[in-house]
A and B are shown apart, each in its own frame.
Chain A
């Protein structure tokens, strides 16, 4: 059975480098694993940040699943767009705030 890792997102999410730093401790391969990113109640995010999280976890590291927990409407909109662009929608789960 695969492992599950939970990461707490900051309240202000800006450039890609910030997402890279947030995920820096994850192993290079996440095949068979699940990653959960938990968002705070008040969160501001850019397209770049959310796109980098999805790309890094589901495309580069090939995790089985990425769950975005407590995602507000803006985060949900961005995530759906990025996952669609990257062709990974079926492996993304979004739980609304």
Chain B
């Protein structure tokens, strides 16, 4: 897998930067990256975690930008670089007192349940908008974590950040079998990954597990109710969900292991 970042490493540029070039190898070329958001960060985390799990040869070129290097360090990427034996060192940044604009990368798996992010999120909520935005973020992040626990076969990651009291950006991702594969295995085959994403978001396809999360339809409802935007990438295709608009699929054909959800909520 090759990821060669341009100036922006965000959800809107993923289709340009990911290539399935070398099996059993991961190359992350971040040299030109000047802006990385939680979406780009979670993609890096998932790729590095996959490389570590599969014992791929991993090569990473760090960004030229000191600011981006510090951002990646602040958001907790060093631990994943080390686990993938990438042999590169991000600059150290002060973590205390915590910067309230960021929810750093947080892993979800059976030994890191969704509640683990509660303290991280709640510690920051006083600084993040009014009670409604705070409650919405709490709801969205915990539900997304529960969803990963329920559906991802491996671990997943979440990260979030608020931007100048205007927008809160959050991202989750995992390298499970993806929505298309997951639904097919459950007896719900769909012609394309985008079809599967839309169906999973707009229809309750399976009965709720007793301890399952709210599921994608409710997560989409959370974003819609608060005029937020959501993009889901799975199986190499993506679908954008915007308030009051029909889902917009994009068949880009780029390799994306697992499933990613990128969301933005307006500050209110």
Whole-angstrom CA separation of A45 from B218 in the bound complex: 14
| Cβ-neighbour of A46 out of B132, B138, B221 (below 8 A) | B138
| Cβ-neighbour of A78 out of B139, B211, B213 (below 8 A) | B139
A84, chain B: closest CB distance, angstroms: 11
Give per-residue flags for B121-136: 1 if the beta carbon is below 8 A from chain A beta carbons, else 0: 0100100000110111
Which residues of chain B have a CB within 8 Å of any CB of chain A? 114-115, 118, 122, 125, 131-132, 134-136, 138-139, 142-143, 146, 210-214, 218, 221-222, 225
| Cβ-neighbour of B132 out of A12, A17, A74 (below 8 A) | A74
Say whether, besides A46-B139, A47-B214, A15 and B131 are in contact (CB < 8 Å): no
B200, chain A: closest CB distance, angstroms: 16
Whole-angstrom CA separation of A78 from B218 in the bound complex: 10
Q: Check A48–B212 contact: CB distance below 8 A.
A: yes
The interface residues of chain A lying within 8 Å CB-to-CB of B115 are 14-15
**At the interface, yes or no: A34 with Cβ under 8 Å from chain B?**
no
The interface residues of chain B lying within 8 Å CB-to-CB of A12 are 118, 122
Nearest 6 A/B pairs, CB to CB: A74-B135, A47-B214, A44-B138, A17-B211, A47-B218, A46-B142
CB-contacts of A41-87 with B (<8 A): 44-48, 51, 72-75, 77-78, 81
Among residues of B, the one whose C-beta sits closest to the C-beta of A97 is B131
A44, chain B: closest CB distance, angstroms: 4
Say whether, besides A72-B131, A77-B225, A81-B221, A45 and B139 are in contact (CB < 8 Å): yes
The interface residues of chain A lying within 8 Å CB-to-CB of B131 are 72-74
Which residues of chain A have a CB within 8 Å of any CB of chain B? 12, 14-17, 20, 44-48, 51, 72-75, 77-78, 81
Whole-angstrom CA separation of A74 from B114 in the bound complex: 20
The interface residues of chain A lying within 8 Å CB-to-CB of B142 are 14-15, 46, 48
B213, chain A: closest CB distance, angstroms: 6
Among residues of A, the one whose C-beta sits closest to the C-beta of B135 is A74
| Cβ-neighbour of B139 out of A16, A17, A47, A73 (below 8 A) | A47
Among residues of A, the one whose C-beta sits closest to the C-beta of B125 is A44
Whole-angstrom CA separation of A61 from B118 in the bound complex: 30
| Cβ-neighbour of B135 out of A17, A20, A72 (below 8 A) | A72
Query: What are 18 A-B contacts defined by CB distance under 8 Å?
Result: A12-B118, A14-B115, A15-B114, A15-B142, A15-B213, A16-B211, A44-B139, A45-B138, A45-B139, A46-B142, A46-B143, A46-B214, A47-B143, A48-B214, A73-B131, A73-B135, A75-B135, A81-B221
| Cβ-neighbour of B211 out of A15, A44, A73, A75 (below 8 A) | A15
Q: Check B212–A74 contact: CB distance below 8 A.
A: no
